[in-house]
Amino acid sequence: MFRSRALSLIALGFTLWWGVGTPSAQAPAGESPAAQPATRMPRPSLAEMEAAGVRMAFDVASVKPDRSGAPAYSRFPLGPGDGYTPGGFFTASNQPLIVYLRFAYKLGQSDLVGLPAWVYADRFDIEARAQGIPTKDQMRLMMQSLLVDRFKLVTHTERQTKPVLNLVLARAGKTGPQLRAHPAKESCAVASTSTPPGAARPGAPSEMSSIFGVPLTEIACGSAGPMPASVAGRARLVGRNVSIGRIAALLMNPFAGLDRPVLDRTGLMGTFDFGLEWSLPSESAQTPASHPQDDDGPTFLEALREQLGLTLKSSTGPVDVLVIDHVEHPTEN
């Protein structure tokens, strides 16, 4: 029982950390989807918007120190994943500034350079609202503007040589059974950056009707992220019509046990459908000896090799690092 609950919490954390555990938006009661105003914004990537110098801001925002001692909470997924329930309302409470920084700049668990200790220790509540139906990346840009305005944040990016993991083919010229080239003839015009895997999207099905037992029609075309695994105590990632570079970016997460950036060195071009499932590590420090590991599934590295035909090699490489030049406690609302 103890182990089952612990693994359930880990699996829940996996979904929430990636920010794809929220359902798709639905039309209000009595209103058909077609009747909703066409306010959805265009969907360039965060990198594209940052490179273009796009600045976006919330219409209204409140920032307050939190001294409640209550558990950290957010109704908006703060992980690096793309999925969330579309809408313009952001609210999170009792979160350290480092969490908001990682969300705003889509940094995952990476540590930033130049941060004072209070950025990790002091807690803040943030509520903000934007017009229309912004994408999650647009909400990140709004959070960047809020951090600049309220926390006087000043940053710059440096390219540094750091330890990395190179993602390569385990066998030359051969991929695994759960990594398949996305068929060029398949209709995949409707790509989503806000709908998680598991939410059906239109598109003509290909001859590959499923990936790792998951029907392709249940995976949003152009998306990648977690889905419920086939067995309790495991984690699963799936994707449809995504590049190997995007798959590589997904692999650096707390549940895979990787602590370095993963760079695509496979040489594989085009887009792919994939599924990857592995056993979560046993909570050895918490689980009583009378509750042995009862899942004989593959480890993350075993699954990567057996299912995708890929492996990781330690190396060093260029990594863009966000450097904090200045940050201070927030101004009053």
Res 66: pLDDT: 94
Residue tagged 């809408």 (tokens): 87
pLDDT tens string 91-111: 999 999 999 999 999 886 566
Strand 310-326 relative to strand 272-279, pairing: unpaired
Measure the CA–CA gap between 195 and 83, rounded to whole angstroms. Answer: 5
Whether 277 is covered by a domain: the verdict is yes
Strand 262-264 relative to strand 154-169, pairing: parallel
**For residue 212, which of 185, 192, 190, 231 has the smallest C-alpha distance?**
231
Averaged pLDDT score across all residues of the chain = 75
Q: Which own/partner pairs from 119-123 qualify as long-range (CB within 8 Å, at least 24 positions apart)?
A: 119/327, 120/96, 121/96, 122/65, 122/96, 122/97, 122/329, 123/65, 123/66, 123/67, 123/72, 123/94, 123/95, 123/96
Whether 275 is covered by a domain: the verdict is yes
Measure the CA–CA gap between 193 and 47, rounded to whole angstroms. Answer: 14
Whether 93 is covered by a domain: the verdict is no
Number of domains in the chain: 1
Q: Which residues pair with 317 in a beta bridge?
A: 162
* Sign of the dihedral defined by the CA atoms of residues 113, 117, 119, 121, in that order: positive
Cβ-contact 88, 130 below 8 angstroms: yes
DSSP reduced 3-state for 19: coil
pTM (two decimals): 0.60
Whether 95 is covered by a domain: the verdict is no
Whether 67 is covered by a domain: the verdict is no
Q: Which residues pair with 167 in a beta bridge?
A: 264, 312
Compute, in degrees rounded to 10, the torsion defined by CA atoms 98, 102, 104, 108. -170
Q: Is a pLDDT exceeding 50 seen at residue 119? A: yes
Whether 134 is covered by a domain: the verdict is no
Whether 152 is covered by a domain: the verdict is no
Measure the CA–CA gap between 230 and 236, rounded to whole angstroms. Answer: 8
DSSP labels for 175-215?
Answer: --TTEEEPPTTS------SSS-TTS-------S--EETTEE
pLDDT tens string 12-60: 455 444 444 332 222 222 222 333 333 334 455 555 555 566 678 999 9
Residue-range definition of the domain harbouring residue 303: 163-318
pLDDT tens string 183-221: 877 656 443 334 444 443 333 334 456 766 677 777 777
Whether 252 is covered by a domain: the verdict is yes
